[in-house]
Amino acid sequence: MLEPLEERLDQPLPAEDQDKEYVGFATLPNQVHRKSVKKGFDFTLMVAGESGLGKSTLVNSLFLTDLYKDRKLLNAEERITQTVEITKHTVDIEEKGVKLKLTIVDTPGFGDAVNNTECWKSVADYIDQQFEQYFRDESGLNRKNIQDNRVHCCLYFISPFGHGLRPLDVEFMKALHEKVNIVPVLAKADTLTPLEVKKKKIKIREEIEQYGIKIYQFPDCDSDEDEEFKQQDQELKDSIPFAVIGSNTVVEAKGKRVRGRLYPWGIVEVENPAHCDFVKLRNMLVRTHMQDLKDVTRETHYENYRAHCIQSMTRMVVKERNRNKLTRESGTDFPIPTAPGVSDSETEKLIREKDEEVRQPPHTQTQEQECVTQECVDQECVMHDECVQESVQEECVMQEESVQEAEHCAELC
């Protein structure tokens, strides 16, 4: 006897039937994971700010490495004539089988000179050079092993002394916010009280919005995320700028050995969320938003640079094509030089006028040529009539003179 249809649909399928209905594309994330882990990851971090704000110490604390073993500290007299340099430190880090090629780009000499006019230009040029190199490699024939040296994030260190941002901070971030993800950092937070840190954060956020500076924006959480993740994301957004403390020394606090700074009145722990935002910054850079920083760099900053390059190349090709067309029309084999006093806009206007003349239909050009020919014939006729009149007048005068001479001779006789 057959079972009812509803009862047969409710019964689980045999294992063999389940295998038949399982296609297998659900394992694609695992395949991507294995391939990514095998290939490894790379990340380029730039640190910028005045000397003495703890940039090197913070970087060593973030990645538990010593990148500045051979660093030479300059005295005050040497820093007066020092220019902004760009130095790179690359280190390979491995954690639980995952390899990370970390590149730290430092900017020694930034903000240390007496005259800091356009001291950020070398930093902006370096970022553009990395974009240009990647663009060339991407447009080349061999695109298999392209080295990605683009700057994915820039930690800008703000001095804790003063009232908010200085003019140098504003100009630096405005010059670079279209090229790189800027994450502002309030350095040496242990020199401020918790109330001072809170007020300074509010002040800096207000000035960033006032001057139209575009810092890195955390992506919005999806609706299906759990509440704990949403809370952590909101805490990160409220922590901008991150008030950080760096230390590479291990001290003992309450029977535990922790990284921190020992003062006469107590110990400041680097990894204590109640003391500073070091843990939040590390989680943001490494655990939660490293891939998003790379995605924003690729999809926004690099795409803007790439679009600008393609537009410039297209404009140059069109201009060269029009110039070659003019060269062929004029019958010369050499390029037409541009007059010193003529601007590019006037040159383009002349090119357009010439193109319009070339594009005119043949009958229009024939009519114009006929008009010109008729005008020339009329001018020749007028000139011929004038010449005839002059010759007739000359003959009449000559005849009168001959008659007068004959009469005069008759009188003498």
Residue 401's DSSP bridge partners are none
Angle, nearest 10°, between helix axes 344-359 and 302-330?
60
* Tokens 């938003």, located at residue: 289
What values do phi and psi take at 80, rounded to 5? -65, -45
pLDDT at 215: 92
pLDDT at 336: 44
Q: How far apart are the first and last CA of the chain?
A: 169
Collapsing DSSP to helix, strand or coil, 201 comes out as helix
pLDDT at 70: 61
Look up residue 116 and give its amino acid: N
pLDDT at 372: 45
Please give the distance of CA 45 from its chain centroid, rounded to a whole number: 16
In order along its 413 residues, the chain shows pLDDT tens digits of 445 545 554 555 555 555 566 777 778 877 777 877 777 788 999 999 888 888 888 888 887 777 666 666 555 555 555 557 788 888 888 888 888 888 889 888 777 766 777 788 888 999 999 999 999 888 887 777 788 889 999 999 999 988 889 988 999 999 999 999 999 999 988 888 889 999 999 999 999 999 999 999 888 877 777 777 778 888 888 888 999 988 878 888 777 888 888 888 888 888 888 888 988 898 888 888 888 999 999 999 999 999 998 888 888 888 888 777 776 666 554 444 444 444 556 666 666 666 666 555 544 544 555 554 555 545 555 565 665 566 656 666 666 666 566 565 555 54
pLDDT at 378: 58
Q: What is the pTM of this model?
A: 0.69
pLDDT at 338: 46
Go through the chain and tell me how many residues it has.
Answer: 413
Collapsing DSSP to helix, strand or coil, 23 comes out as coil
Name which of 232, 241, 247 is nearest 62 in CA terms.
247
C-alpha–C-alpha distance, residues 262 and 265, integer Å:
8
What contacts 65, CB < 8 A, 6 or more positions away? 91, 93, 102
